Amino acid sequence: MEIAVLGWGVVGGGMIKLIDEAKTPLLKQLHVKRVLIHRPEKAVDDRCTTDINEILNDPEISIVCECIGGLEPAHEYAKKALEKGKHVVTANKKMLATFASELFDLARQKDLTIGYEACVGGGIPWIANLERIKRLEPVEAFQGILNGTSNYILSQMEQKGAGFAECLKKAQELGYAESDPSDDIDGHDVCYKVVLSALTAFDQAVDPKEVPTFGIRHLTKEDFAFAKGQGRTIKLIGQGRKTAEGVSLQVLPVMVKADSLLGSVSLNFNAGKTWSKSLGPAAFVGQGAGSFPTAHAAVQDLLDILEANSPVAAFEPAENQAGDKQTFYVRSQKISVFASVTQEKVSDDAIVTKPLTIDEIGQLLKAAKDEDLFLAGIEDD
């Protein structure tokens, strides 16, 4: 089966290497015919082209692997590939979460597959295992550590007692964080992954903009010290849950028990946990990022298409629900705004709240207008 890879970068390059050096009979059935690159002087071999039409108009190419990143032209190329009758595999969670309804509608019309295992959880077979559970029974909820960069920073802060800025700098030096790390540390990257997980698990497509999303940018050593004093650590958790009315998604730093499974997931590792009736809780842990684990996931999508074993995601647009009440930790220079919901005073500028919905705490955050505020959930005992 002939494929084309768009972008010879971290993920695209990993895919090309895995396929070129195929180790198994099944993988040897795949062949990279074309690679879209941006600048002609970067051509590595004669498969490289700077002209997308050479790929789109080639009837031999059955699958287009989009590894460019960003919204455009990634979205345009994915759409055109589907229009031309080609399956699409992508590692681009932002693009796919943003244009999910349009692209999956098109794929269903054309009886094509969009493979997106590489979008969520790096090498963890997360999407495949959600699909597997769903064959048998509904997935009731999921929760995950889905961003390697922020988890690396959090685990450094925990182990070394270091400050946020110092740990971010270290992550950037190691290549775990980009020069503009906003998407990773402000939770947006996790938000896209939660949207794609929910679409898989619940058949419900929520607009990423509607998902309450809080990051770790304003986390301090003091916040961490409070968590540690409670036998907890802080993890950036994306989660989704079925509610009576629909689904409730959120992205939030959470103080989890240090000796719990999610509490033990350190460095740039990712983890995903599912709940369903007969299986109970199940968890998947692995490399959250990096060229080869992510490329491995994308190539697994190719093998599923090769084996004609890819369910086409079917879902409906859904509004996000506020979900259950939770207890929050809030640190703010304007902590008095939270007086009416305070359950326990932690320090002069930090409190633990009574149980509130995420919408209720959101209203108070708006009222506080404190750009340095830090918010975390506190996991039930």
CB within 8 Å of 204: residues ≥ 6 apart: 198, 246, 247, 315, 316, 317, 318
Rounded CA separation 12/35 (Å): 9
Tally the C-alpha atoms within 13 A of residue 361's C-alpha that lie toward its C-beta: 30
Q: What is the DSSP letter of 356?
A: B
Q: Using the rule CB under 8 A, give the single segment among 44-52, 70-78, 212-220, 285-293 that binds a second copy.
A: 285-293
Stretch of residues binding a second copy (CB under 8 A), selected from 82-90, 173-181, 275-283, 340-348: 275-283
- Residue 142 CB, shortest distance to a second copy, in Å, is 13
Q: Of 45, 245, 307, 324, which one interacts with a second copy (CB under 8 A)?
A: 307
For a second copy, give the closer residue by CB, 88 or 128: 128
Q: Rounded to whole angstroms, how far apart are CA atoms 139 and 200?
A: 9
Restricting to residues 114-143, name those near a second copy by CB under 8 A. 123-125, 128-129, 132, 134-138
Which stretch, 74-82, 242-250, 271-279, 370-378, contacts a second copy (CB under 8 A)?
A: 271-279
Count residues near a second copy (CB under 8 A). Answer: 46
For residue 332, what are the CA distances in angstroms to 230, 361, 373, 377? 20, 13, 5, 15
- Are 89 and 115 in contact, with CB atoms under 8 Å apart? yes
- Per CB under 8 A, 39 contacts a second copy: no
Catalytic one of 86, 94, 193, 273: 193
Residue 227: helix, strand or coil by DSSP? Answer: helix
The one among 10, 27, 56, 346 contacting a second copy by CB under 8 A: 27
Which residues are registered as beta bridge partners of 206?
Answer: 318
- Respond yes or no: is residue 334 known to be catalytic: no
**SS3 label, residue 31:** strand
Tell me whether residue 181 or residue 286 sits nearer to a second copy (CB atom). 286
Question: Residue 286 interacts with a second copy (CB under 8 A)?
Answer: yes
Residue 264 lies near a second copy (rule: CB under 8 A): yes
Task: With contacts defined by CB under 8 A, name the span among 83-91, 191-199, 209-217, 255-263 that binds a second copy.
Answer: 255-263
Q: Which is nearer to a second copy, 267 or 368 (CB)?
A: 267
Between 217 and 235, CB nearer to a second copy: 235
Length reported for the chain: 381
Instruction: Determine, following the binding rule CB under 8 A, whether residue 265 of this chain makes contact with a second copy.
Output: yes
175: helix, strand or coil: coil
Scored b (16 or more CB within 10 A) or e, 180-219 reads ebebbbbbbbbbbbbbbbbbbbbbbbbebeebbbbbbbbb
Give residues in contact with a second copy (CB under 8 A): 14, 18, 23-24, 26-27, 123-125, 128-129, 132, 134-138, 258-261, 263-266, 277-287, 290, 292-293, 295-296, 299-300, 303, 307, 309
Catalytic residue numbers, as ranges:
193
